[in-house]
Amino acid sequence: MAPRGSISGIVFDHDSGDIVPRASVVILGTLIGAATDSAGGFMIQGVPVGTFDVQVSIIGYRTAVVRNVHVRADMHVSLPIALSQVILDLGEFEVIAPIRLSSASPEMPVSIHKLPKKELLSIGRGLNDPLRALSLMPGVSQTKVDRNDLLVRGGSPSENLIVVDGIELPSISHFATQGSSTGSTSFIDLELIESASLSAGGFGARYGDKTSAVVDLRIRDPRNDRFTFRPNVSATQVGLNTEGPLPGGGSILLSARRSYLDKVFEIYGFGFIPHFTDGLLKACLPIGSSDRISVLAVGAIDGFSLMNESTEHRLQNSRMMFNDQSRFAAAVTWRHIFTSGYMSVSSAYTRSEYEYRQNDPSLAPWFTGSSDDRTYSGQIDALFKIGRTSEFAGGMSIRLLDFKGAINSLAAGPSAVNYEVIPKTSGSIDMTSFKSAAYLQFSHSVGPATITAGLRGDYYEMTGKSLYLAPRLSLNLAISPGINLKASAGRYFQSPNPLWFTATSFNRTLTPFGADHLIVGGEIFVGPDVLIGVEGYQKRYFDYPSSLNRRYLIMANTGAGLGGSAEGFASFGIDSLVNKGSGRSRGVEFFIQKMLSGTPWYGILSISHSRTEYTALDGIARPSSHDQPWTVAIALGWYIGESWELGTKFRYYAGTPYTPTGTAFEKGYNSTRIGGDHNLDLYVARRWSFSGWKLNTYVSILNVYNRKPTEPPIFEKISGKQHIPGLGIIPTIGVSVEF
């Protein structure tokens, strides 16, 4: 008998979250199908191996088609499917087109880009990182090959909000820079993510305490029919995923990984070896047809082994800030669906521990630091539908911060890199503080126009018990079928990093800084699987913390990379800081996305032109350290039958500013720009399906033509030599087994 698999899922209302019973679910091109039960669920057994489109339809909703569902031998596919309501005219029969590509919603009305699972897996293959996949989206500056920093529309990586299954996390990256949302590579396995989206600005009132972007990751639900195991191994790590049913109709997913980078770093001649361990747990438990409890836990432990036996390695290691760190987060969420909407209640705990060190070539310490950051939080969100044209959303959150930190900076004088004068300081802090927030948002459709207005209030105890109000307004106008115009304006606030309070008590008078977003754009849908979009934006920063010691320095220019002496330890807040910096970022973005569909290929083209400037206390408007006037990104993928997959990514990006060696920093800061750069990645994947198990393999080559990235030269004051960093070609392989 030919090998077969199964497809199950749940069908729900896109706006209210209500389950949709009695919907018809059909696998197009076959005679196989099912109807959803009273809980909105369906199960289709005996599906032939292959790639299919799954159609869901019911009167009163737009017909939805889930493209490119891949069914494998003895394997199970789970599909959450959202339907959008339509107003029926019973006097005239109307054929409703499948759901379009647009991910816009009242919560994310503009500047939103989404990667479904298949495209996400293909684009992120190699380094297994959803943040690197999202870096191809318009408005994102390209960063070093060893970092996944998201620099969105001129902002720093500390300005991004990371949301995983509705829970806010400080970071999901190994070797993160403290206070930044990004690091070297994600500690969430790409295979576990159902979808990833990036809002580059203009997001709704639900999201706050960040001024640039929102990254939203959805972890797929575990399968609930039987247990499966997936061991995997690549050139850099080994791991195991397992999932299956729990008593009472629930399900659980477990994942664990461990790196082994010794040989890789020896080949490249590094004097250090990073090592990491990470894990994830997700459990789901339905309670009747209207309630659901989910549990999410993630964690990571990172560290470095230094090989300081040779003079060359000691000199190499003296250029870098090393940090051992551990991160853990756990959350419980209860979601209740009622007739006209839903409500969710969540409680979360996060903890991040860091131990920093940077030594000079004689192994004497230049900088040491440590911190322990714990957050206890609770959040309530609700949405109510008012007829078919309006919706009301609101919520509130409260967070208890428990932060301990210590910093000892000994880096002044001869240890300075590129002759920058670095403050010598030490300090510690032990603080607890509350943050709370509440928001209201109303959306109403009048004919082809949808208007959304929201107001968010954030209260920060640690900055003088002040309340900050942030209004948001957006408009979406459907001028014809398949053509939409969009606009958004809003104010966003962000609290200062508690790490900046550590070195000097002077910084404990800092208040939140802010940004005003103005965005206009449009999108055209070409068929059900092609989206063409263009947007223009302007973002103005105000009250940004800036240095009294180094009057050219604004904190927006810190936080990318590993930090340390390369940026004068500035990201740790060792300077005396005041809220007197400002900035402006403006740009135009063009975007084309072709999704996987009946044609077995996908494609992405993004072109961004922007300029970002910041003004610190010296009053001079200088280019941002992350300013890249032009970025171009292309991704293409092709599925050949059921067994082969080919893909490529190309990036071009203009050079960023830097301060040339030997110049006075106040005059020469960010006065020179490195040259532009480009790189090409390729990958090939091959799958074998057998009765009861499957073998997956891939080969990925980053920087195929071995082009060394253009980076600012580093002058070694002690050795008197100039070091030009950069990696060349990076090949990797991977093998996994599913059974």
pLDDT at 730: 86
**pLDDT tens for residues 189-223?**
999 998 899 999 999 999 999 999 999 999 998 98
Category of 561 on φ-ψ map: left (φ > 0), alpha (ψ -120 to 50) or beta: left
pLDDT at 725: 56
CA distance 538 to 560: 22
DSSP 3-state percent helix, strand, coil across the chain (nearest 5): 10, 55, 35
pLDDT at 3: 66
Which pair of structure tokens corresponds to residue 315? 């000199």
pLDDT at 105: 80
HEC sequence for 92-136:
CCCCCCCCCCCCCCCCCCCCEEEEEHHHHHHHHCCCCCHHHHHCC
Which pair of structure tokens corresponds to residue 115? 């990667």
DSSP 41: E
**pLDDT tens for residues 380-428?**
999 998 887 899 999 999 999 999 999 987 755 443 445 566 777 889 9
Residues contacting 382, CB < 8 A, separation 6+: 341, 342, 343, 344, 393, 394, 395
pLDDT at 301: 97
pLDDT at 714: 66
The gap between the terminal CA atoms of the chain, to the nearest Å, is: 19
pLDDT at 138: 95
Nearest CA-CA partner of 439 in 466, 468, 480, 412: 468
**pLDDT tens for residues 552-581?**
999 999 988 777 877 888 899 999 999 999
Helices marked H in 616-693: 665-668
Nearest CA-CA partner of 200 in 253, 154, 248: 154
pLDDT at 97: 34
**Residue ranges in the chain modelled with pLDDT below 50:** 88-101, 413-417
pTM to 2 decimal places = 0.88
CB 157 within 8 A of CB 181: yes
Look up tokens 């973002």; give the residue.
539
- Domains of the chain and CATH, by start: 4-99 (2.60.40.1120), 132-413+423-738 (2.40.170.20)
Angle at 185 between CA 182 and CA 186, to 5 degrees: 80
The dihedral built from the CA positions of residue 151, 154, 157 and 161, taken in this order, carries a sign that is negative
Category of 249 on φ-ψ map: left (φ > 0), alpha (ψ -120 to 50) or beta: left
